[in-house]
Amino acid sequence: MLVEAANRLNIKTLVLDSAANPASQVSGHHTKDDHIIGSFQDPVLIAELAKKCNVLTVEIEHVDTKGLDAALEQNLVDQIHPTPQTIRTIQDKYAQKLHLIKHNIPVADSKDVSSAADIDRAVSEFGVGYPVMLKSKTLAYDGRGNRVIKSASEIAQAITDLGGGPENKGPELYVEKWIPFSRELAVMVARSVSGNVVSYPCVETVQKDNVCHIVVAPAQIDGLVREKARRVAENAVTSFDGAGIFGVEMFLLLDDTIILNEIAPRPHNSGHYTIEACHTSQYENHLRAILDMPLGNPEMKVAASVMINLLGSGSTLEDMESSVLGPSRAAFSVPGASIHLYGKESCRKGRKMGHITLTANSMPEAAAGTRTILEYNGLIDT
Ligand code: ADP
Ligand code: NA
Ligand code: MG
């Protein structure tokens, strides 16, 4: 989707990713062989990409940031956005949290842990008992780095599930106080190289099994709360260096308190709806931001929008049919529905295979279309 936006602006993009990645399939200015096939965790391949480009950016934060540092030091590339240091801080969710605390952004209480005893102690310190959320500091996304611990007897299993923890030479972990949120909100914020900032309307995200399932734009909450969320998000993003678009995930409590959950230093699932529903999409504004062009209008150009993720239900053709192609076909008959299929090579359980965005003249109209799509094959269950 980033490359699609680049194509329209005549911005030439080269992609470093594994073979058959969706981005290199749609590049308008390069053939398949121009792209670099391999891992974005490999500093040698990052150097190879940097030599061919003027500006580097990321659309996933789990990259080798030392490779990015080296590309700048060796003048292989003019600029990298966001900065490697910002990506480094954000890719370690605990370091990100410490950074946000330092900048007075409201976040959930959390504690660095390396053993079951540490977790037990942290729960006592939080003072509200179970549940708590155990999180992996790095390489977390789509709920993969999280385990809910509902009682002391579940601690050992949660550590094992997240790869063993530091005590067993596994990934670094931290534990977070449970946030009894009423809703989850998200705001996309773009900042250009010159320091101009725009933010998108506050949306509600609905997660299923820790993975984003539906996005409702704008969030159906008091407009003042939406503006408060926007301010929290802008303050958080401007506390980091570097240009680009950032996704800010937040919890809304019943008393309208807002707590920041996490930041993504890149275009974000909660901003997919902006392609059809806003004057300038998150992708175009990311490009404008990192190339220091004037930022585009982030406001919605329709009254209401809903985005539905197409998450794979498994790896068989039947799974592909029931979770991806079927709902897409159902969307053909819904006015205002735009279907995005990513061209990923294989379907897997929980894999994001595409999404559908509905634009409508009212939220009831968007909700009706959403129901038609979710009712396909009983996907509706909440
Ligand atoms: P990921 O990187 O996988 O998106 P998150 O930290 O955003 O990880 O967690 C995924 C989801 O888990 C959140 O969107 C939210 O629904 C739930 N969650 C995360 N942290 C907490 C918490 N402290 N209390 C309650 N729910 C949480
Ligand atoms: Na270069
Ligand atoms: Mg998240």
Asked if the model's pLDDT at residue 53 lies above 90, the reply is yes
Q: Which amino acid is at 345?
A: E
Helix axes 84-91, 65-73, angle to 10 degrees: 170
Asked if the model's pLDDT at residue 54 lies above 80, the reply is yes
Ligand 1 atom closest to the CA of 251, numbered from 1? 15
Mean per-residue pLDDT, 278-295: 98
- For residue 257 the two structure tokens come to 């308190």
Ligand nearest to the CA of 144: 1
- For residue 331 the two structure tokens come to 């969307």
Residues 302, 290: Cα–Cα separation, whole Å: 27
E runs forming strands in the chain: 16-17, 36-37, 55-57, 79-81, 110-113, 132-136, 146-149, 173-177, 183-191, 197-199, 203-208, 211-217, 244-252, 258-264, 304-311, 337-341, 352-360
Q: Is 179 in the pocket of ligand 1 (CB under 6 A)?
A: yes
Q: Is 17 in the pocket of ligand 1 (CB under 6 A)?
A: no
Q: In this prediction, what percent of the chain has a pLDDT beyond 70?
A: 98
Ligand nearest to the CA of 93: 1
Look at residue 378 in the predicted model and tell me its pLDDT.
Answer: 61
Q: Is 140 in the pocket of ligand 1 (CB under 6 A)?
A: yes
Report whether 249 contacts 232 (CB < 8 A).
no
33: CB partners within 8 A, 6+ apart: none
CA angle 149/152/157 to nearest 5° reads 60
> For the segment 56-91, what is each residue's pLDDT rounded down to a tens digit?
999 999 999 999 999 999 999 999 999 999 999 999
Q: If DSSP codes are grouped into helix, strand and coil, which group holds residue 148?
A: strand
Rounded-to-10 torsion of CA 222, 226, 231, 236: 130
Which residue's CA lies nearest to atom 16 of ligand 1?
210
Q: Tell me the β-bridge partners of 136.
A: 173
Q: Is 109 in the pocket of ligand 1 (CB under 6 A)?
A: no
Look at residue 68 in the predicted model and tell me its pLDDT.
Answer: 98
Which residue's CA lies nearest to atom 15 of ligand 1?
210
What phi, psi does 187 have (nearest 5°)?
Answer: -135, 130
CA angle 215/218/223 to nearest 5° reads 140
Peptide bond into 180 cis (omega under 30): no
Ligand nearest to the CA of 77: 2
Mean pLDDT of the chain: 95
Q: ipTM of the assembly?
A: 0.98
Look at residue 32 in the predicted model and tell me its pLDDT.
Answer: 80
Half-sphere exposure of 74 (CA within 13 A, CB side): 14
CA 240–ligand 2 middle distance (angstroms): 25
Residues at Cβ < 5 Å from ligand 3 ion: 249
CA 262–ligand 3 middle distance (angstroms): 6
Q: Is 108 in the pocket of ligand 1 (CB under 6 A)?
A: yes
Asked if the model's pLDDT at residue 382 lies above 50, the reply is no
* Residue from 183, 257, 261 whose mutation best tests the ligand 1 pocket (most atoms within 8 A of CB): 261
CA 29–ligand 3 middle distance (angstroms): 33
31: CB partners within 8 A, 6+ apart: none
Residues 252, 249: Cα–Cα separation, whole Å: 10
Q: Is 146 in the pocket of ligand 1 (CB under 6 A)?
A: yes
Q: Is 206 in the pocket of ligand 1 (CB under 6 A)?
A: no
Look at residue 323 in the predicted model and tell me its pLDDT.
Answer: 93
CA 142–ligand 3 middle distance (angstroms): 7
Q: Tell me the β-bridge partners of 352.
A: 311
Look at residue 379 in the predicted model and tell me its pLDDT.
Answer: 57
Least confident of 162-166, 220-224, 378-382: 378-382
Look at residue 33 in the predicted model and tell me its pLDDT.
Answer: 83
Please report which confidence band the pLDDT of residue 210 belongs to, taking 50, 70 and 90 as the band edges. Answer: confident
> For the segment 141-188, what is each residue's pLDDT rounded down to a tens digit?
777 899 999 999 999 999 999 998 888 888 999 999 999 999 999 999
Report whether 147 contacts 162 (CB < 8 A).
yes
Residues 243, 313: Cα–Cα separation, whole Å: 36
Which residue's CA lies nearest to atom 17 of ligand 1?
210
Radius of gyration of the chain measured on its C-alpha atoms = 21
* Residue from 210, 213, 250 whose mutation best tests the ligand 1 pocket (most atoms within 8 A of CB): 210
Ligand nearest to the CA of 143: 1
Ligand 1 atom closest to the CA of 210, numbered from 1? 11
> For the segment 335-379, what is each residue's pLDDT rounded down to a tens digit?
999 999 998 989 999 999 999 999 999 999 999 999 999 987 665
